[in-house]
Amino acid sequence: MSQFAAVLSTVFSGEVMLAIAIGTLAGMVIGAMPGLSATMGVALLTPLTYTLSPSAAISMLAAVYTSAIYGGSITACLLHTPGTPASAATAADGYALTKQGQGMKAIGISTVCSMIGGTISAIALLLISEPLSRISLMFTPAEYMLLGLFGLTIIGSLSGDNLLKGLIAGAVGLVIACIGLDGMSGVPRYVFGITRLESGISMVPAMIGMFSISQAMIITEDLFKGKSLIVDDPSSTLKGRVLPTAKEMKRITPTVIKSTIIGIFVGILPAAGGDIGSWVGYNNAKKSSKHPEEFGHGSIEGIAASETANNAVTGGALIPLLTLGIPGSGTAAIMLGSLMIHGMQPGPELFTKQAVQTHGHSRPADFQVCRPRGARTDVHSLPGDRCPFHDRLLRYQQQHFRCLCHGVFRAARLSFPKGEYRFGSGHSGRNTKLHGREKLPANAHSQPRRCTPLYFLPPDRHRPDRHDPSRRFLPVPC
């Protein structure tokens, strides 16, 4: 009870509340601007948090994250231009409702469902982060491949009347996704010598092209035909009841529950974000709806599904970030850096050494999950103690971190000499040949299963001599 009171006093302090209010407003504005995603919002506003306390800073960034995802739905509903990739699934139904003169209804359903999805995912973050983080550890490349195949099946439900054209469009999208460096070999494909294309076509410019520019073209054509208003009926404009009625709430409740679960599940998966969550939620809602024919033509279930799922992703994405130190989305990756800037090391220590700051912006009840067996409940007694769960997490975090670095290492290895180098503990008996100019440091051979380039190590392993070429490889204690 004393921890809970300490957390409440942190959360409801003037500084934290003001930071949350500013973060929410800024996040909504950034999210509503096409081209500025939640990731960019968090990255842009991180420097503004330098002068704040860790609790206020992280609260503000969490507020920016969640409200930016919601803010994207405002322009998606009113202008058919999603402010963030996560709101792309909302655009069709939200804009269809706006054209019918019920724009405020679309905004209202989006707001209510975003709030429900975000709140439930925050409660999940609060109460069941341990089992959820275990699930996220179970995902291997095979499961990711199946998830990708499942994503492709969404084409079937979005193709409308002509499935064949939908499949062709999906395949063209796959070819465009090939632009950039090949993920397996690092060979450039379809880059035409342009360096900027080597990183591929990212989601934000693709979304602007698909939604914003096409909408600008449609509006221009409409204006020349004498249609100066978006709505079909000029007298209706932006009318409509903002809050959904009880009947509408009853209709969308099953969708909201399912989309929340989907959103949390997608959120905990590393590399899957709000855009994937919203499409999976939308697809599921359409398949299970009694009125699938309404989807794409102003279905409130469609808006509810995508908006609930993309906001549920926000809490889910923070679960692997805070418990394992593994970001579940691009925004969570930026927040990982922000946490470190404020002296907080994501992972088990976040619930021991920095428990008050962590729970101040996320979940007070997690003390039950993270408290070591037999340890006292006093927050300040926790540092130094770890439960077996956290020991496993820490080991996994170290291994996963090196896996993430492996791709970068493969690109960097060109600068090393010919020779044999065994990378990481997960590559049993498999050697990686090196080609380059420099000599491989002696300790790399002496510690073949414990070496990682120093500049890829977590900050607590940084050393003053890290720029010394002879010390580029250092042992990583496991």
Partner 1 sequence: MKKKLHQDIYISVITYIFTAVMFILGRNIKSAARAYPFLILGLITVLNTILLITTIIKSKKMSAEELDAVNTIRWSNIRHAMLTFIIIAAYVVIFDILGYFIATALLLVGMMLLLGVRDWIVLVFIPVGLLAVLYYFFVMKLHVPLM
Interface with partner 1 (CB under 8 A): 44-45, 47, 164-165, 167-168, 171-172, 174-175, 178, 182, 184-185, 187-190, 192, 213, 216-218, 220-221, 223-224
Task: Tell me how far apart the alpha carbons of residues 125 and 363 are, in angstroms, rounded to a whole number.
Answer: 7
Which residues are 452's β-sheet partners? 474
Among residues 171 and 403, whose Cβ is nearest to partner 1?
171
Among residues 414 and 478, whose Cβ is nearest to partner 1?
414
Among residues 36 and 109, whose Cβ is nearest to partner 1?
36
Residue with tokens 């896996």: 403
The least CB distance from residue 228 to partner 1, in Å, is 10
Is 158:151 a contact under the CB 8 Å cutoff? Answer: no
Among residues 117 and 180, whose Cβ is nearest to partner 1?
180
Q: Hey, what amino acid is at 300?
A: I
Which residues are 179's β-sheet partners? none
User: What's the distance, CA 36 to chain centroid?
Assistant: 15
The least CB distance from residue 45 to partner 1, in Å, is 8
The least CB distance from residue 192 to partner 1, in Å, is 8
- Two tokens, residue 412: 């960097």
Which residues are 473's β-sheet partners? 453
Among residues 197 and 394, whose Cβ is nearest to partner 1?
197
The least CB distance from residue 14 to partner 1, in Å, is 23
Nearest to 336 by CA among 61, 98, 13, 44: 61
Among residues 223 and 403, whose Cβ is nearest to partner 1?
223
Q: How buried is 137 (Cβ within 10 angstroms: 0-12 exposed, 13-18 middle, 19+ buried)?
A: middle
Among residues 225 and 373, whose Cβ is nearest to partner 1?
225
Q: Hey, what amino acid is at 265?
A: F
Q: Which helix (H) or strand (E) holds 37?
A: none
Burial code of 361-378, b = ≥16 C-beta within 10 A, e = fewer? bbbbebbebbbbeeeeee
> Furthest-apart CA pair in the chain: how many Å?
79
The least CB distance from residue 420 to partner 1, in Å, is 22
Is 282:292 a contact under the CB 8 Å cutoff? Answer: no
The one-character DSSP state at 171 is H
Which residues are 181's β-sheet partners? 188
Among residues 216 and 478, whose Cβ is nearest to partner 1?
216
The least CB distance from residue 106 to partner 1, in Å, is 25
Which residues are 474's β-sheet partners? 452
The least CB distance from residue 159 to partner 1, in Å, is 12
The least CB distance from residue 268 to partner 1, in Å, is 28
For 424: left if phi > 0, alpha if psi spans -120 to 50, otherwise beta; the answer is: left
Task: Tell me how far apart the alpha carbons of residues 303 and 90 are, in angstroms, rounded to a whole number.
Answer: 5
Among residues 49 and 133, whose Cβ is nearest to partner 1?
49
Task: Tell me how far apart the alpha carbons of residues 147 and 271 are, in angstroms, rounded to a whole number.
Answer: 12
Is 362:125 a contact under the CB 8 Å cutoff? Answer: yes
The least CB distance from residue 155 to partner 1, in Å, is 12
Among residues 21 and 216, whose Cβ is nearest to partner 1?
216
The least CB distance from residue 198 to partner 1, in Å, is 13
Among residues 145 and 223, whose Cβ is nearest to partner 1?
223
Phi and psi at residue 472, in whole multiples of 5°?
-65, -35
Q: What single string gives the DSSP state of each residue in 348-371?
A: GGGGTTTHHHHHHHS-GGGHHHHS
Among residues 7 and 64, whose Cβ is nearest to partner 1?
64
The least CB distance from residue 186 to partner 1, in Å, is 8
Is 55:95 a contact under the CB 8 Å cutoff? Answer: no
- Two tokens, residue 389: 């769960």
Total length of the chain: 478
The least CB distance from residue 204 to partner 1, in Å, is 14
